[in-house]
Amino acid sequence: MNIVKEKNTIIKNPETKDFLADAFYPETSEKLPLVIFAHGYKGYKDWGAWNLMAEKFAEAGFFFVKFNFSHNGTTVESPSEFGDLEAFGNNNFTKEMSDYDAVLDHFYDNPKIDKNKTAIIGHSRGGGISVIKAFEDERIKALVTLAGVSHFGYRFPSGERMEEWEKSGVMYSENGRTKQMMPHYFQFFEDYKANEQRFNIQYAAQHLEKPFLIIQGTDDEAVKDNEAFLLNDWCKNSELAILENANHTFGAKEPWTEDLMPKDLQKAVQEIIIFLNNNFDLL
């Protein structure tokens, strides 16, 4: 089977700024289910083994899209490097929701797409955003989270650190891989507080009436498995897949130089493909 790879398509979003998306799909005359993948915090579309994951979904008969959030710190010129830390510092959940909408708008009208079969997948923080997007957007028929967060507010500092952040206007977080000091401007928290009801993952999960697959590893150092249990408890139509000994990135790292996905990510992808096929067959 021939897999088409359309890399680095520019998506225009007047509300944020231009960003890039990739589409992987099989060469066929049949209409294909659309699957859109959202990366997490300090992530990007080409991180680790995401390209291998995209190929696997295309081989399974999906039109698979992955994209860079406009303010994730990468640029259109260098999509795999954090070359715009000012943009990173000015990112917020409102911008990410807007980007999600822009990428869905762009690919939803593609003649290769079966519009009745659209799913989204989110990793980590992208999982939390995806829960809210699935709740808000009737075009989306199924949802998957990979190590998805259950609450945004818990991740902000408190006490003296919060006071210091508000006073100085900026807080820094070191990137463990690149050693860059990555800024967060206080507007990030202000945007969250101004839209706290909208960005309530629990509310979205409790009111979500779409099929939802929650995948979580037991050795996740960033998102503990109790968050997956909470998501599963809240949602009336969810399935929970716990992967023993899997970490936050399901064995992947950056750079990923092997020809195959790590075993835990292979397991996760297989679970997702089965879940989507089962639910799309009902549509």
3-280, CATH topology level:
Rossmann fold (3.40.50)
Q: pLDDT tens digits, residue range 175-211?
A: 999 999 999 999 999 999 999 999 999 999 999 999 9
- At 283, the pLDDT band (50, 70, 90 cuts) reads confident
- At 98, the pLDDT band (50, 70, 90 cuts) reads very high
Burial of 226 (0-12, 13-18, 19+ CB in 10 A): exposed
For all residues of the chain together, what is the average pLDDT?
98
- At 281, the pLDDT band (50, 70, 90 cuts) reads confident
Q: pLDDT tens digits, residue range 121-167?
A: 999 999 999 999 999 999 999 999 999 999 999 999 999 999 999 99
Which of 19, 135, 142 is closest to 84 using CA atoms? 19
Which of 261, 279, 282, 209 is closest to 57 using CA atoms? 261
Local structure of 191: helix, strand or coil: helix
Burial of 146 (0-12, 13-18, 19+ CB in 10 A): buried
Can you give the pLDDT at residue 282? Answer: 82
Q: Which residue has the higher pLDDT, 67 or 282?
A: 67
Distance separating alpha carbons of residues 247 and 147, to the nearest angstrom: 9
Local structure of 209: helix, strand or coil: coil
